[in-house]
């Protein structure tokens, strides 16, 4: 069997995690959500597999496994997206490519707006997988946030579909893009998934010792 490609990067200090993503927006959110854990960026020489899974969990686990095998470090990956009831759960795992393989956030957003009327039921989903290569442990958690389609894009924060997603748990009816970072973290799919990840990490106090 061919040995896995290993990154030249060395393991960081204890209480650090390697994030298997090239998405800068996600990296910023995870760094805030997981503090005081340190979230380290993926070394350039680590190759991630394509997102070909049929579920968010499959895609997240593929990334985490690749990063852990290449680096020898405790690594996690995520896959997230939006589901529309009017589209039988689409775009789902194809959220980032809803309007095409090279589509921008704006193009994806406009395609969803054209397909789902204001007030249409939506849900954000985030699966996070974490892999510890020291003992082969793998764990997957999932967070969900229910919501509805906004009447028009609003707000300048966040990314992706945030300007048109009104969370059920925000009584003011603001979009995710209008929320302050700490407000978004308290109700978002990613924030909820991270809470479950923290619980798993708390049971493994010395994952790299």
Q: Give binding residues for substrate as ranges.
A: 21-26, 80, 159-162, 184, 189-190
Report the binding-site residues for Mg(2+): 79
Tokens of 56: 């968010």
173, 166 Cβ separation under 8 angstroms: yes
Do residues 189 and 144 lie in contact, with contact meaning Cβ atoms separated by under 8 Å? yes
Annotated binding-site residue numbers: 21-26, 79-80, 159-162, 184, 189-190
Burial class (CB in 10 A: 0-12, 13-18, 19+), 100: exposed
Tokens of 71: 């680096």
Q: Select which of 40, 78, 79, 170 is catalytic.
A: 79
Q: How many whole angstroms separate alpha carbon 124 and alpha carbon 115?
A: 17
Output the six-digit token pair for 6.
């290993």
According to DSSP, the β-strands at 16-19 and 75-84 are parallel
With b for 16 or more beta-carbon neighbours within 10 A and e for fewer, the 187-204 pattern comes to bbbbbbbbeebeeebeee
79 is catalytic: yes
Cβ-based neighbour number of residue 102 at 10 Å: 7
Catalytic center residues: 79
């Amino acid at each position: 069997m061919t040995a896995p490609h290993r990154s030249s990067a060395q393991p960081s200090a204890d209480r650090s995690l390697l994030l298997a993503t090239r998405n800068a927006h996600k990296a910023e959110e995870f760094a805030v959500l997981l503090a005081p854990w340190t979230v380290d960026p993926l070394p350039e020489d680590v190759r991630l597999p394509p997102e070909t899974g049929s579920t968010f969990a499959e895609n997240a686990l593929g990334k985490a496994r690749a990063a852990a095998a290449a680096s020898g470090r405790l690594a996690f990956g995520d896959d997230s997206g939006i589901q529309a009831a009017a589209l039988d759960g689409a775009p789902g795992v194809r959220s980032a490519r809803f309007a095409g393989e090279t589509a921008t956030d704006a193009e994806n957003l406009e395609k969803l707006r054209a397909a789902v009327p204001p007030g249409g039921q939506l849900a954000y989903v985030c699966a996070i997988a974490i892999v510890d290569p020291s003992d082969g442990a793998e764990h997957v958690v999932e967070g969900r946030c229910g919501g509805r389609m906004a009447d028009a894009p609003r707000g300048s924060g966040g990314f992706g579909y945030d300007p048109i997603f009104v969370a059920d748990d925000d009584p003011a009816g603001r979009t995710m893009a209008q929320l302050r970072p700490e407000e978004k973290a308290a109700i978002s799919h990613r924030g909820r998934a991270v809470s479950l990840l923290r619980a798993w990490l708390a049971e493994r106090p010395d994952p790299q010792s």
